[in-house]
């Protein structure tokens, strides 16, 4: 089943199968001390740059900042949801700690 | 790889969108196939329609382009009627009610809660008086901005209005320029005060004089590549070109063609011409323009008037900082600039505005880049009676500086990019500041601009106090917050605000401004302006002067207002949204 993944509205949304699913202004806890030095960066999403799927995991590249220390930038790929039989299943992004796949983990 | 947007544009774009739009309007919003919606919404922007945010599906923001901010006699009334009839939503705004008009920072008009089904009637009404939504959004020539009193101003260098209008005629609906890599914002100014704000536009024509064949010739210098968005603000750069008013359309078209051919269509974040200018520099830009896009020899730049610029400058150099107030025109009549707090006016007031303009002036209204309106052509003998009108109690020609200086963008009420609530919050801030904070002696202009995100639609970076939407935690809970920037302004030496204090919870911002102003007063030398004070103070010291603090100001919108279908609804949860709805406002059942 083909899944359509898109960044919409000039980076305001991740769209999956033509539905807006993940929005800027969410606050994520990232398991990525390398982003800013904070143990669990408290990260506000300001712009979605890219979206992709790796198996059943939908991940996004986003620009934003850690509201604890102010560091801005783009962490690695952050999982934002899963695909089940081609349907998007949300995860509670504002309440769980999200693992981050760094760019150099690619391949 | 071209982006989705570029792919959609290559299929259908420009004028031809209109027939599809009208057909969908005829058939109903829900006949747009679900998997084509995003493509169509992207295209509808070209005809001035911007789909509102999540929870408000099937409702549109509609932008009407008013070149140079001019509404000719009769047009304001039609705008008010259209807003009254079609711009009413399923819920009310607690400050502005239901049915209102937004006067925007690019001298345009925005209406909200527009139904697709009403578009044919709305277009008929607008077009019957010569108004249009064409190219008001989308990747093409946007509404052309300029000095809102062009042709009336006593001191202007050249009357740029005919040039702005000619550019509008030439490039609205022009197939050669209708599909650009990104938005194309143009400013044309002939006055001495810099109120076209050319510095923050993609293409700026600014007043200048050049000696050509021994004759002093009036015309324009050209600057390219300004803009505020995305944490990447740029001032437009001087490309050392002078044009006469007659050459302006040809050279502007050449620059637009250069952008069309060379702008980055693979990455929308890198597409604005400011990034091409970063890459090329002004010299290469001029060379390419001369060699590949213009058939005659371009003149080098003439003498400009930038040292006189006062608009939005933060300097008290005697020039206008805005257009509020009563000013004599070149023809001996007067124009009366009214302060519209955050640019929003209810439909009844807008009707009144049209009536008052008709009764005392010529019926013309002009819109400024500070979200205000101007009644023009008022004979001196009618000024007193005009000032007695009730309308001027609410939209004052002599407002308190905190009212006068406030600008705010759309924010979480309707906009998908937003992080915080904006317009209503800025109204609450301005009212609290007026009641609770003394401005230092003699400070009459004090600009506070609030933008809900880094797109910077409220032009925050060129205010005395710049506010930008953010998030933070307060007592462990996520709350709306603002970054505070200081000392931005245009004028002879424009610069952008420094973001000195970040992520201040929204309920502590009024206290921060209060403390900052007290600190300014204490340290002020002579009668320097706030911008001058900021310019001579270290950034670190400035950060210490901000001092966020809770005060008697209470903010009812601390929570995530984006997670609502409408922040002011009784039940604001996304599940309670009536959207999407049919043309008549009844919900479209999800199994429809
Ligand atoms: C739903 C989304 C948006 C809404 C409701 C919105 C609203 C507005 C409004 C009301 C204005 C002034 C009116 C006018 O253009 O005539 C404006 C101007 C502006 N917009 Fe937006 N906008 C949106 C998206 C964007 C995006 C995506 C960007 C940038 C990537 C952006 C950047 C700007 C800037 C920088 C200005 C003003 C400064 C200038 O003149 O350059 N806006 N917008
Ligand atoms: S500045 Fe951001 S929040 Fe405000 S209207 Fe523009 S895009 Fe929306
Ligand atoms: Zn951090």
* pLDDT one-digit tens code per residue, A65-83: 999 998 999 999 999 999 9
CA distances from B63 to A26, B103, B125, B208, B477 (A): 28, 10, 14, 32, 37
CA distance B302 to B121: 48
Q: How many A from CA of B410 to the centre of ligand 2?
A: 6
The values of phi and psi at residue A28, to 5°, are: -115, 145
Answer yes or no: is the C-beta of B455 below 6 A from any ligand 1 atom: yes
Q: How many A from CA of B250 to the centre of ligand 1?
A: 27
Look at the domain B4-128 and name its fold.
Sulfite Reductase Hemoprotein; domain 2 (3.90.480)
CA distances from A42 to A68, A79, B501, B588 (A): 6, 15, 18, 38
B178 pLDDT band (50/70/90 cuts)?
very high
B378 forms beta bridges with B334
Q: How many A from CA of B542 to the centre of ligand 2?
A: 27
CA distance B444 to B401: 6
pLDDT of residue B444: 87
Query: Which segment of A1-5, B246-250, B346-350, B424-428 scores lowest on mean pLDDT?
Result: A1-5
* pLDDT one-digit tens code per residue, B187-232: 999 999 999 999 999 999 999 999 999 999 999 999 999 999 888 8
Give B 410-429 residues with CB within 8 A of chain A.
416-419
Mean pLDDT of B293-301: 97
Helix (H/G/I), strand (E/B), else coil: A65? strand
Q: CB-CB: which of A13, A44, A94 is closest to B470?
A: A44
CB contact under 8 A, B560 and A12: no
Q: Where are the domains positioned within chain A?
A: 5-92
A104 pLDDT band (50/70/90 cuts)?
low
pLDDT of residue A86: 84
CA distance A25 to chain B (A): 5
CB contact under 8 A, B503 and A67: yes
Mean pLDDT of B160-188: 94
pLDDT at B518 over 80: yes
Domain B404-559, CATH 2.40.30.170 — does that match?
no
pLDDT of residue A103: 62
The values of phi and psi at residue B587, to 5°, are: -60, 145
Answer yes or no: is the C-beta of B110 below 6 A from any ligand 1 atom: yes
Q: Whose Cα sits closest to atom 33 in ligand 1? A: B457
CB contact under 8 A, A67 and B454: no
CB contact under 8 A, A47 and B54: no
CA distance B395 to B374: 11
Mean pLDDT of B404-426: 95
Please tell me if the domain spanning B150-308 has the same topology as the one spanning B404-559: yes
Q: Where are the domains positioned within chain B?
A: 4-128, 150-308, 325-398, 404-559
Angle at B40 between CA B114 and CA B46, to 5 degrees: 70
Answer yes or no: is the C-beta of B61 below 6 A from any ligand 2 atom: no
Helix (H/G/I), strand (E/B), else coil: B349? helix
A1 pLDDT band (50/70/90 cuts)?
low
* Cα B508 to chain centroid, rounded: 27
Give the ligand whose atoms come closest to the C-alpha of residue B54.
1
pLDDT of residue B162: 96
3-class SS string, B69-128: HEECCCHHHHHHHHHHHHCCCCCCECCCECCEEEECCCCCEEEEEEEHHHHHHHHHHHHH
Size of interface A-B (CB pairs under 8 A): 58
* pLDDT one-digit tens code per residue, B274-296: 999 999 999 999 999 999 999 99
* Cα B96 to chain centroid, rounded: 19
The percentage of residues in chain B with a pLDDT greater than 70, rounded to a whole number, is: 99
Contacts of A13 in chain B (CB under 8 A): 54, 416
Mean pLDDT of chain A: 88
Query: Which segment of A31-45, A85-99, B193-207 scores lowest on mean pLDDT?
Result: A85-99
Mean pLDDT of chain B: 94
Answer yes or no: is the C-beta of B108 below 6 A from any ligand 1 atom: yes
CA distance B24 to B27: 5
CB contact under 8 A, B38 and A8: yes
Give B 187-246 residues with CB within 8 A of chain A.
230-231
3-class SS string, B29-77: HHHCCHHHHHHHHHHHHHHCEEECCCCCCCEEEEEEECHHHEECCCHHH
- What residue has token string 């270290």? B538
Contacts of B37 in chain A (CB under 8 A): 18
CATH of domain B150-308: 3.30.413.10
A interface with B, Cβ–Cβ below 8 Å: 4, 6, 8-13, 15, 18, 20, 23-25, 27, 42, 44, 46-47, 49, 67, 70, 72, 94
Look at the domain B325-398 and name its fold.
Alpha-Beta Plaits (3.30.70)
Mean pLDDT of B99-116: 97
CA distance B416 to chain A (A): 6
Tokens coding B558 = 């601390």
Contacts of A25 in chain B (CB under 8 A): 418-419, 453, 469, 471, 560, 562
Contacts of B579 in chain A (CB under 8 A): none
Identify the closest residue of chain A to B411 by CA–CA distance. Answer: A25
pLDDT of residue B401: 95
Answer yes or no: is the C-beta of B455 below 6 A from any ligand 2 atom: yes
* pLDDT one-digit tens code per residue, B443-501: 989 999 999 998 999 999 999 999 999 999 999 888 999 999 998 999 988 999 999 99
Identify the closest residue of chain A to B455 by CA–CA distance. Answer: A10
Identify the closest residue of chain B to A24 by CA–CA distance. Answer: B417
pLDDT at A107 over 50: no
- Asked if residues A69 and A36 have their Cβ atoms less than 8 Å apart, the reply is yes
pLDDT of residue B590: 67
> Is B327 within 8 Å of chain A by CB?
no
């Amino acid at each position: 089943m083909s899944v359509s993944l898109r960044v919409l509205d000039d980076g305001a949304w991740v769209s999956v199968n033509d539905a807006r699913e993940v929005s800027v202004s969410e606050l994520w806890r990232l398991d990525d001390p390398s982003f800013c030095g904070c143990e669990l960066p408290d990260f506000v999403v300001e712009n979605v740059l890219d979206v992709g799927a790796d198996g059943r995991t939908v991940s996004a590249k986003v620009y934003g900042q850690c509201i604890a220390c102010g560091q801005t930038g783009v962490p690695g790929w952050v999982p934002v949801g899963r695909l089940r039989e081609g349907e998007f299943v949300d995860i509670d992004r504002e309440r769980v700690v999200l693992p981050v796949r760094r760019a150099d983990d690619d391949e | 790889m071209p982006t989705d947007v570029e792919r959609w544009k290559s299929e259908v774009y420009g004028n031809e969108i209109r027939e599809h739009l009208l057909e969908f309007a005829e058939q109903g919003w829900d006949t747009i196939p679900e998997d084509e919606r995003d493509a169509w919404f992207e295209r509808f922007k070209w005809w001035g329609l911007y789909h509102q945010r999540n929870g408000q599906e099937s409702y549109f923001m509609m932008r009407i382009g008013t070149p140079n901010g001019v509404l000719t006699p009769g047009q304001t009334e039609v705008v008010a009627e259209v807003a009254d009839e079609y711009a009413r939503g399923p819920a009310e705004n607690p400050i502005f009610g239901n049915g209102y008009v937004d006067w925007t920072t690019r001298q345009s008009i925005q209406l909200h809660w527009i139904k697709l089904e009403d578009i044919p009637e709305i277009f008929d009404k607008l077009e019957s008086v010569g108004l249009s939504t064409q190219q008001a959004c989308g990747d093409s020539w946007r509404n052309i901005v300029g000095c809102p009193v062009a042709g009336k101003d006593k001191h202007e260098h050249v009357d740029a209005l005919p040039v702005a209008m000619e550019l509008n005629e030439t490039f609205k609906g022009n197939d050669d320029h209708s599909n650009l890599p990104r938005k194309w914002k143009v400013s044309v100014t002939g006055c001495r005060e810099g109120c076209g704000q050319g510095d923050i536009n993609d293409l700026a024509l600014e007043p200048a004089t050049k000696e050509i064949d021994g004759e002093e010739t009036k015309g324009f210098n050209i600057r390219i590549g300004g803009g505020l968005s995305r944490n990447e603000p740029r001032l437009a750069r001087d490309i050392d070109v002078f044009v006469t008013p007659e050459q302006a359309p040809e050279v502007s078209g050449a620059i637009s063609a250069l952008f069309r051919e060379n702008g980055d269509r693979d990455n929308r974040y890198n597409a604005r011409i400011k990034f091409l200018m970063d890459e090329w520099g002004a010299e290469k830009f001029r060379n390419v323009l001369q060699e590949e896009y213009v058939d005659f020899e371009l003149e080098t730049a003439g003498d400009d008037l930038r040292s006189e610029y006062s608009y939005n400058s933060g300097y008290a150099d005697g020039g206008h900082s805005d257009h509020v107030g009563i000013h004599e025109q070149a023809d001996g009549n007067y124009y009366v600039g009214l302060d519209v707090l955050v640019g929003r006016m209810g439909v009844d007031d807008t009707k009144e505005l049209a009536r008052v303009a008709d009764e005392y002036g010529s019926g013309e209204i002009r819109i400024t880049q500070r979200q205000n309106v101007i009644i023009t052509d008022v004979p001196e003998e009618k000024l007193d009676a005009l000032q007695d009108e009730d309308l001027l109690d609410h939209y004052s020609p002599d407002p308190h500086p905190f009212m006068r200086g406030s600008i705010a963008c759309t924010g979480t009420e309707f906009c998908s990019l937003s992080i915080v609530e904006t317009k209503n919050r800025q109204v609450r801030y301005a009212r609290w500041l007026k009641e609770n904070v003394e401005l230092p002696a003699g400070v009459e202009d004090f600009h506070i601009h609030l933008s809900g995100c880094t797109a910077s639609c409220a032009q925050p970076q060129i205010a005395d106090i710049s506010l930008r939407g953010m998030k933070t935690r307060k007592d462990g809970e996520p709350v709306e917050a603002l970054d505070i920037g200081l000392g931005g302004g245009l004028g002879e030496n424009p610069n952008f605000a420094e973001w000195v204090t970040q992520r201040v919870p929204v309920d502590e911002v009024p206290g921060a401004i209060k403390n900052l102003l007290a600190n300014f007063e204490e340290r002020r030398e002579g009668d320097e302006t706030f911008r001058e004070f900021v310019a001579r103070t270290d950034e670190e010291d400035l950060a210490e002067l901000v001092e966020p603090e809770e005060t008697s100001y209470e903010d009812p919108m601390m929570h995530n207002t984006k997670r609502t279908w409408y922040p002011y609804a009784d039940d604001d949860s996304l599940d309670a949204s009536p959207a999407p709805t049919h043309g008549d406002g009844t919900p479209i059942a999800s199994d429809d």
